[in-house]
Amino acid sequence: MPKLKLVNAKSNETAVVDVEDLRNPVFDIVRNYYQLLSVEPTYESDETVKTFLKDNVSLQIMTKKVSFKDILDKNMSFKDIGVENSMKIGIFVDDGAEQLQSKSRKSVGDKIKFSLAKVSNPLNHVEKKKESNTIDGSMLGIYDGESSKSFDRDAVAIAPSKKLAINEDDGYDAEVTLDDFKNYYEHIRRNSSNDFPDFSEKRKEEIPECHIRIKFPDRTILQAKFSNTETSELLYDFVTNSLEMPGSPFELYFAHPLKLVKRSDKLLLIRDLGFEKRTSLIFKTHERNVPYLKKSIQLRDIFEEERKQKAKVHDKDSLVSEIDLKKQKLEKKMAKFLKLSKK
């Protein structure tokens, strides 16, 4: 029986719901969870609840956000909004709607319990989690004071191109002088200094989000954004929901050096696992069924993406100082001299 995990994006309250048939209307099941919907229980008529949901509530499934107005007007089922199996669904309630509630949540606690007792499939588990990593791998609530907004993954799949990349010679002379050795040694010494170990931790805390690229065996790349409050569990959930065959077992590895990304709902991507602003991962599986990704994910040509990145780098390079340019030239000379450059 499919299990749906309903999560209020602002309060992080969670409910696990057993759904016998995903063709059942969304309203018939979700309406009973008043605490998650931030609406007062109503026993006289469904119209009050429907009006509130139409004006103030929306659901997020993967990267798609569906308003309750469309759900009610079209009497949509879970299958109609893209739910195929067990997954997490985010519930977003407008801030203004909560302020209009005349009573606090505690004042209607008894009514909520009474309402939940009438549900055919009662609430299995409701708790308010302290962690902020309870939302599906394809969305996240980010809060600033009393406001909330949806975190956009901006997920895309980048298809390999038939063109061949050309590694052109940079033209630098490989002859190295004694001064070059001294400067290069000083440059390495400064960058490897561990006099201020707390700086790295502080820098991790200041990274708001990371852009992750996952390379598949067929050279396809899945790219998405994750915030500093998300865990590796959400990363694995996101990849699973992006696969053409979600049941296929797989593992994710850091590319350099090759290291397994542990799956855990306790390990934060940036703070605990050391994800940078831009991180490359490798998708490993014993399955050989291609394509790996769903066709519904937006495709981009890999060389078109590289062209845009090079254009951004070129604009940024125009502001680089003369000292930075000398450092870059020195590093390339040393790499050639030490035979570290690619053949």
Q: Which of 103-112, 243-252, 305-314, 318-327 has the lowest mean pLDDT?
A: 103-112
The pLDDT tens digits for 103-160 are 444 444 454 445 445 444 444 444 444 444 444 444 444 434 443 445 667 777 777 6
* 297 compared with 119, residue with greater pLDDT: 297
Query: What per-residue confidence (pLDDT) applies to 103?
Result: 44
Overall fold of domain 206-297 = Ubiquitin-like (UB roll) (3.10.20)
Residue pair 281/332 in contact by the 8 Å Cβ criterion: no
Q: Is the pLDDT of residue 46 over 90?
A: no
For 98, other C-beta atoms within 10 Å of its C-beta total 15
Annotated domain spans of the chain: 3-150, 206-297
Which of 15-24, 45-54, 165-174: highest mean pLDDT? 15-24
At 261, the pLDDT band (50, 70, 90 cuts) reads: very high
Which of 41-50, 63-72, 105-114: highest mean pLDDT? 63-72
Q: What is the residue whose two structure tokens read 């934060």?
A: 268
